[in-house]
Amino acid sequence: MKILAEQKISEDSQADLARFAKALSHPTRLEILRLLSTQSCCFTGDLVEILPIAQSTVSQHLKELKIAGLIQGEIDPPKTKYCINQQNWQKAKLLFASFFE
């Protein structure tokens, strides 16, 4: 029972790790995360200015990062402010670290 439960957890962790890795697998998303983790937060508009891609594309990458759980956005009308989701950021950090031993 215990062993089965642990296997289940391990499988889930592997799926989680795959999802996090997928979120990190695009240079633009890495750049967004790097910007958000150095500055504590960013408005979408700031990112659009910095990144050499269209506003709609930035918005889409932000959406993916949000779905992956790595960032969170709060509306501060008329702007939206994004920051790292610290809880999942730590979780991802741990998952990667333990994957590499």
From the list DNA, a copy of itself, none, which binds 24 (C-beta under 5 to 8 Å, kind-based)? a copy of itself
SS3 assignment, position 101: coil
* Amino acid type, 12: D
Select the binding partner of residue 65 from a copy of itself, DNA, none (C-beta < 5 to 8 A, by kind).
Answer: none
Rounded CA gap, 73 and 85, in Å?
Answer: 9
Partner whose footprint covers residue 93, from a copy of itself, DNA, none (CB < 5 to 8 Å by kind): a copy of itself
Query: With respect to a copy of itself, which residue has the nearer C-beta, 14 or 55?
Result: 14
In SS3 terms, 10-47 reads as: HHHHHHHHHHHHHHCCCHHHHHHHHHHHHCCEEEHHHH
Q: What are phi and psi of 36, to 5 degrees?
A: -70, -30
Q: Which residues make up the interface to a copy of itself (CB under 8 A)?
A: 14-15, 17-18, 21-22, 24-27, 30-31, 33-34, 37, 89, 92-93, 96-97, 99-101
x/- contact string, 37-56, with DNA (CB under 7 A)?
Answer: ------xxx--x----xxxx
Closest CB 76 distance from a copy of itself, rounded Å = 26
Is 23 within 8 Å of 32 (Cβ atoms)? no
